[in-house]
Structure 1
């Protein structure tokens, strides 16, 4: 029995190490984590491979746009400011401070969040930091009380956006108003079409 437990732990550790290593090497995948530190500070962390950041910075600014790590970090922060949005309850745009880039094989953007509303019923998050990379995907995770516990994938299919509302203690994707309007008037449209057909037939 001890041998089996040891083997199981080793297998789980190996799988975790392989997945982490693969993530660090893949420019297509990134993660967005919003959590609270031990001292109560709410922090945003965006993680991807250094290759992903380099490819996007070069694509936007051209080859040779930076000559030092500091210049590269500044360009990454410019992308972050222009390509990342976090809005709560439709009108509360979240502000970030003390943003910094931690360079490494797995590179991170760390930013502090000034404050959050006491109650949250709508979440809009958009991350187009890596939108120019093929098959770019970001996994968003909220580790905060009152926020959804599941993870969400932002990708090209959803314009790299997360848009969800809280209804009956469940987080759901809101129905577009245009869809609602079209369904509302669908019976009238059907009646109009049938009436037109009958009028056409009667004339013939």
Structure 2
């Protein structure tokens, strides 16, 4: 079977990627967030996780009695994901629209959202599974013509990653680099002040 275009090959890659990620979704601690650019240039957001992970979050946030039907459960899922997922392009947040929830042992939720034609930075935060112990969310950005971007969202980075567009790839922006430098500077200054006072104190003792 021959593919007529690169787009067809790209779609096959996305399908294969979906099957690969599904193996991890059976554990409630593992989930995935995938941003995909479709063949028509439109984007979609796909969240995959074990059904037990969604149940844990819904029960924790709302209560076990907050739903009685599958449709009500889907509404709760969409509600907490919409509240806890933030996607921004060049600092402008894009609203999640047209949710579609497919329940199963591996539950899949899909949103659509607007993306500007050109952007330099992209930030994604998904704290939707933050109530699960040792929650680990694998985040991928799949865009035609770009290298596949693969990152991890967890408690250590507040389930958030900031990316910059560099050529045909997304590179992570280190959020804590400036803060770490400031802390090192303050720490060094404190040590210097303590050292000066210690030397003066020793001199005063020796003079008496």
* Matching residue of 2:161: 162
Name the structure 2 match of 1:26: 27
Structure 1 187/74 Cα, relative in aligned 2: closer, same or farther at 3 Å? closer
Preserved contact between residue 120 and residue 146 of structure 1 (Cα < 8 Å): no
The structure-2 alpha-carbon separation of the partners of 1:148 and 1:197, relative to structure 1 and needing over 3 Å to count, comes to farther
**Aligned partners of 2:185, 2:117: CA distance in 1, in Å?**
34
CA distance in 1, matches of 2:149, 2:166: 16
Distance 2:38 2:165 in 1: 25
> Structure 1, unaligned stretches of length 5 or more?
1-15
Q: What TM-score comes out, normalization by structure 1 length?
A: 0.77
Aligned length: 187
TM-score by length of 2: 0.76
Deviation for aligned residue 1:142: 0.3
Q: 1:163 deviation in Å?
A: 3.2
The aligned counterpart of 1:92 is 92
Q: Does structure 1 conserve the Cα–Cα contact (< 8 Å) formed by 2:161 and 2:172?
A: no
Q: Give yes or no for contact 1:119–1:146 (8 Å, CA) kept in 2.
A: no
8 Å Cα contact 1:28-1:134 kept in structure 2: yes
For the 8 Å contact 1:154–1:162, the answer to whether it is kept is yes
Give, in angstroms, the shift of residue 71 of structure 1.
0.7
Alignment deviations for residues 95-140 of structure 1 (CA, whole Å, 9 cap, x no partner): 221122122222111111112351223x322111111122211100
CA distance in 2, matches of 1:88, 1:156: 23
User: Where in structure 2 are the equivalents of 1:1-204 lying within 5 Å?
Assistant: 22-89=23-90, 91-116=91-116, 118-121=118-121, 123-144=122-143, 149-165=148-164, 170-184=171-185, 188-204=189-205
In structure 2, the CA distance between the partners of 1:187 and 1:66, relative to structure 1 (3 Å rule), is: closer
Q: Mean Cα displacement is larger for which, 137-146 or 21-30?
A: 21-30
Closer, same or farther: CA 176–24 of 1 in aligned 2, 3 Å: closer
Distance 1:191 1:109, change over 3 A: same
- The structure-2 alpha-carbon separation of the partners of 1:192 and 1:100, relative to structure 1 and needing over 3 Å to count, comes to same
